[in-house]
Structure 1
Amino acid sequence: MPITSSGPRIAILGFAIESNRFAPVATRADFVSRAYLKGAALMDDARSEAPAMTPEIPAFVRDMDRSGAWTPVPILFANAESGGPVEHAFFVDTLAVFEAGLRAALPLDAVYICEHGAAITTESDDPDGEVFALVRGIVGPDVPVVATVDLHANVSDRMVDNVNTLISYRRNPHIDMAERGADAARVLRELMAGGKVAVAHIRLPVCAPPTQLLTAPGTGPYADMIASAEALLDDPRIVNISGVAGFVYGDTPKNGLTVIVTTRDDPAFARQTALDLALPAWQGRAAFSPELTSLEEAVALARQAGENARLPAVCLADVADNPGGGGRGNTPYLLQALLAAGAQGVIMGVITDAALCAEAHGLGVGAAFTARFNREETTLYSDAFAAPAKVLKLHQGQGVGRRGQLQGCRFDLGPSVLLEMDGIKVVVVSNRYQCHEPMFFEMFGLDIAQARTVVVKSRGHFRAAFDEFFKPEQIHNVDVPGLTSPVLARFDFQRLPRPTVPMDTMQDWSPQVRVLSHPKL
C-alpha cells in the first residue's frame, strides 16, 4: 500500500536494544546488521511480507491504515540484538538523525516511538529517556506521543513523563509484540481526537532474573500481576496497563519492576489500580529467586534420554548464555560436558562462531577436521576449545521464522554449518541470535521431534516456538556460567537500587506512587 498523503501526520522512530552492562560494547555495525531503517526504507520494510524489523511498527502501520487516512512520517528505526552498552558516539548520531527528521517534518499531529526500553550507552544510563525527552522537546506539550517498550524495559521517570501513554508487552515469551503496536495506533487515534489521560507510576524494589518473569499461568507473581491487569482492561476508565518486568543486567538506577496505569483522566483510579497490582507481586517476592538444574544433573538427563527411548525427550536451556540478553552465544560448558559424557541423540544450537563457519564452508560437506571454537573471542566465559567434527550440511542462514517471536519475520544467521561431533549435531552460525526459532534447526533438515535431547542457547523465548515439541516439565534451565546467568550474586552490580529482591532480604517496603494528570509535558 502506498503512503497516503492525507490525514494526520505521524512520525515513526525508534532505538531498540537491550543492554547488558557486562557484555562487550555494541556498535553501529550491530544495528546495521539487524535493522537500521531510515526514511522510506522504514515504511518499505514495515509493509513488506516478511519484515526484518520487530513486529510492533508493521502492526502499528496496519492498524493505522485500517482505521483511516494518515500520513506516515518515517524517521529512523535502529534495532540490534541484545548486547553491551551502546557506543555513545553512535547513540549521539542517532539522536541527531531523530532531531533533524522531526524538525524537518514539523508540524506533526502525533509521534509513535518504538523502543526496547532497556538501553544504556557507554556514557548514559537512560538513553531511552533521552529519546523520549528529545521528541517531546521538539513537538511540544500538546502533540500526542505514544511509545511501546519491551516487557524487560527499565523504565525511568523521564520516560513516563515525556509520553502520553507507555505501552509494554504483556507476554513472556514475547508473542504479543504486534498486538502492542496495534494498541499504540488505537491509543494515538483516541488522543488525536482529544482524549485526556492520567498516569500512575510505581516502581518496586524487585530486580529479578529473567527466568523468573514468565507470564504463563501459574509461573509466579509476575504472571499473576499480568493476569490481574488484563482482567481490568475492559473497564472503560482504563486506557492501558503496563507491568514492566525490567532487565536486571542493565545495572542502572532506574531498574525495578514497574507498574504504569493510564486512565481516561482519572488520577485517583490510576493510583489505586497501580497499588492493587503492585502489592500482590511484592507479597509473592520469594518466587523471584531462581531454581536451576545443575550441569551434572542436566548431563545425566541427556544420557538417560539417549539410552532409553521410552523416557520423554528433554530440552536443556543454556539460559546463562542467551544472546537475547547480551550473551555471546558461544560458551562451551554444556557442549563439552555432553561430549565428555558420550550423550547421544542430541541436537544443539545455535553457537555463534563466524570463524568456524567460514572454515567449514571452505572445507565443504563431508570434511572431517578439528573444530576450534572461540579462536577469535576473548570475552569472559567464551573459552576456547577444540574437538573432532564433521561437516554435515552448509547453509547461508537466511529464512523466515515459523513460530513464536520470529513468526513471519526475516532472519539472517549468516553462513552457517551443521557439525557432527561424536553423536551430537551442533548448529553453528555467524551472526549472533538466540535459538528461539525451530527453523534454525529445520533449515538443516533436522527433525526436532526425533531428537532425544535438544539444547538451546536461549533464556525463554524458545518456549513459545518449541512448545509443539516440549511440555514445560521437559524443559530444564541449566546452571552454567555466562553473561546472563540467573545467579545474580555472580555479577558486580554497581548501579542497581539497593536493597532489592531477590539479592537482598527485604521485609518492608513503602510504595511511592507518582501520579500525572494529563502529564505536564
Structure 2
Amino acid sequence: MKSPRIAILGFAIESNRFAPVSTRADFVSRAYLPAASLLDDARKEAPVMTPEIPAFVRTMDATSPWTPVPILFANAESGGPVEHAFFADTLREFEHRLREALPLDAVYICEHGAAITTEEDDPDGAVFTLVRSIVGPTVPIVATIDLHANVSDRMVDAVDALISYRRNPHTDMAERGAEAARILTELTNGMRTAVAHVRMPVCAPPTQLLTAPGTGPYAEMIRRAEALDDPRIVNVSIVGGFAFADTPKNGLTVLVTTRGDAPLAHQVANDLVSYAWQERAAFTPVLTPVDEAVRLAKATSDDPSLAPLLLADVADNPGGGGRGNTPFVLKALLQYEVQDAILGVITDPDLVVDAYAAGTGQTLVARFNRTETTVHSEPFDAPARVLKLHDGKGVGRRGQLAGCSFDLGPCAALQIGGVTVIVISKRHQCHEPMFFEMFGIDIARARVVVLKSRGHFRAAFDEFFSDAQIVSVDAPGLTSPILARFDFRKLPRPAIPLDDVSTWSPTVRAVLPRSELR
C-alpha cells in the first residue's frame, strides 16, 4: 500500500474590521513559512507556528507511512483587514504549489477562520474552495479552525470535516490537530461524512465564550457535545464566532459531522442550538468600570491581608486586533498611586528605542503613542526609570504558548510610579508569564497585575490567580465587549446581544453525505 500524499497549508489571522490594516510584514513578523521551511518548523521542539500542524504531523508520523507535502502556512497576530494584494499573492502561491504537487491523496488546512481582507469578507472560504477546485471532489479535505471563527456556507461545503477548538483559552490546539490527522486517515480509508450546519443570531463578545465549567451557555454547549457517546459521530464543533470581523457570516455556528448519518447530525445540531437559545441572555457581558477596578487595586496594594488582584484590560486585547497601547488603565493606576503593580504588555517600539538609548538604571520621560494615531491610542507622558532591557525572544511555559517560540522584539521594563510596565516592539497579547519572568519579575510578589488580554491569560496565570481574583475592566478599546460601541455594517441583524431577539427557529443545512453533495 502506497503512503498517501497529504498537502498541508493554512492562512491564519483573526481580523478586526475596526483595526488598522494587516500587511505582509505582520505575517512575516509572526510566522510566514513557505514549503521549504514549513515541515522543519513543525518538527522543531519549540516551533514558531501554532500547535495544530506540529500535532498533525506527529500523529501522522505515528499512525502509518505517509508523504507530507508542505505548501505554505501564514499566520499573524490578530489585526485589521488583511491587505488584499497580499492575500491574493498568498492564494496564487497556494494554487501554484498545489497544482505542482498533484496528484494528492488528501489535504489538511490549518486556518483561524475569522479573516477578512480589504476587499473580501470570506477569504477563508476562498482558500477552502480553491483547494477543492484543484484537488477535485473525491480527495478528502479536513480543516481546523479557531472557535472564534466565522463559518460560511462555502467553508462547510468545500471540506469533509471542519474541526474547531473546544477550549477557550485555547489549550487544545494540538489536540485538534491530532484529531484532524485521525479523521483524515479515516477518510483516506473510505469513510464519508454527513454534516449538519446551523448558524444562530448570536454574535457574542469573546468574554462570553469561555469554556471552563460554569462560565455560561457556550461552555455548557461544549460539555453536552463532548458527553455524546455515539460511534456514528465524527466531530461536533461549536464555533462561537468573532463579532469584530463584522461580516455577513457572523453568528454562533454548530457543525455536527457524522459517518454518513444525516438525520443524526440534524438532530444533534438542533438540540444544541435549542438549548443555547433558551440561555441567550447570558451572552451579554458584565464588566467593571475603570475607576471602580482601580479603586479595588488601590485597596489591594494597601492591604496585605487582601488577595492579589488581576485586572484584565479586555478592550485593548492584541489577540483580538487591539493595538496593545491604550493608556487608560495605566493612567488610573498612577492617579490612585497604586503600588507593587506590574502591567504587560504595552506595544510601543518608539519608547523601546528611547529606553535602549537611555540605558539600564537611567531615567527618561516615557512618551507613549507619539506616532500611533489609531483611535484610543492616546499620547501620554510619564517619568520613568529603565529597570532592564531584553531582546524579547523566549519560549512559552504555560497555557496557549506553552512550548512555542515567541519574539516580542526588543523590550524594556520601566518603573513608572508604583507600576512596572513591560514595553514591547512587536504587538502581542499578554497571555504568557514569561513576558514578565524574562525580566526576572516574580509575578507571585505583585499585589496587582494588569494584562492586555481578553481571556487567554486564564490558562497561564491560573497558578497565581483564581477566577475570583480576576476583574474584567470596562475601558475604551478596539476589542471592547460592549458591542453597541461599534458601527457594525455587515454583521447580520438582529443579533444578540446587540438586539432584543425574542423568536427564532433554526434552519439546518448541508446534511447530505459528502459523496452525494459532490
TM-score normalised to the size of structure 2?
Answer: 0.99
1:331 aligns with 2:335: no
What stretches of structure 1 move > 3 A for 4+ residues in a row? none
In 1, distance between residues paired with 2:78 and 2:473?
A: 21
Q: What amino acid sits opposite 1:78 in the alignment?
A: A
- Aligned counterpart for 2:40 among listed residues 31, 44, 55: 44
Contact 1:82 1:326 in 2 (8 A): yes
Q: What amino acid sits opposite 2:305 in the alignment?
A: R
Q: What amino acid sits opposite 2:288 in the alignment?
A: T
Please name the residue that 2:140 is paired with: 144
In 2, distance between residues paired with 1:206 and 1:30?
A: 30
1:223-262 counterparts in 2 under 5 A? 223-232=219-228, 234-262=229-257
In 2, distance between residues paired with 1:427 and 1:169?
A: 30
- Aligned counterpart for 1:477 among listed residues 472, 481, 487: 472
Contact 1:271 1:515 in 2 (8 A): no
- Aligned counterpart for 2:198 among listed residues 193, 202, 221: 202
In 2, distance between residues paired with 1:168 and 1:123?
A: 25
Secondary structure of the residue aligned to 2:294 is helix
In 2, distance between residues paired with 1:464 and 1:331?
A: 24
Please name the residue that 2:25 is paired with: 29
In 2, distance between residues paired with 1:452 and 1:298?
A: 14
- Aligned counterpart for 2:119 among listed residues 78, 98, 123: 123
- Aligned counterpart for 2:497 among listed residues 491, 495, 502: 502
Q: What amino acid sits opposite 2:310 in the alignment?
A: C
Please name the residue that 1:403 is paired with: 398
Please name the residue that 2:482 is paired with: 487
Contact 1:21 1:251 in 2 (8 A): yes
Report the Cα offset of residue 363 of structure 1. Answer: 1.2
Deviations 1:68-92 (A, max 9, x none): 1000000000000000000000000
Q: What amino acid sits opposite 2:491 in the alignment?
A: L
Please name the residue that 1:135 is paired with: 131
1:33-112 counterparts in 2 under 5 A? 33-112=29-108
In 2, distance between residues paired with 1:55 and 1:376?
A: 35
1:378-397 counterparts in 2 under 5 A? 378-397=373-392
In 2, distance between residues paired with 1:209 and 1:6?
A: 47
1:67-466 counterparts in 2 under 5 A? 67-232=63-228, 234-466=229-461
Report the Cα offset of residue 362 of structure 1. Answer: 1.5
Deviates most, 6-15 or 17-26: 6-15
Contact 1:164 1:518 in 2 (8 A): no
Q: What amino acid sits opposite 1:464 in the alignment?
A: A
Structure 1 residue runs without a partner (length 5+): none
Report the Cα offset of residue 427 of structure 1. Answer: 0.4
Deviations 1:474-517 (A, max 9, x none): 00000000000001110000001100001100110011000332
Report the Cα offset of residue 6 of structure 1. Answer: 5.9
Q: What amino acid sits opposite 1:441 in the alignment?
A: F
Q: What amino acid sits opposite 1:431 in the alignment?
A: K
Q: What amino acid sits opposite 2:492 in the alignment?
A: P
Q: What amino acid sits opposite 1:90 in the alignment?
A: F
Cα RMSD (Å): 0.8
In 2, distance between residues paired with 1:518 and 1:161?
A: 11
Report the Cα offset of residue 235 of structure 1. Answer: 1.2
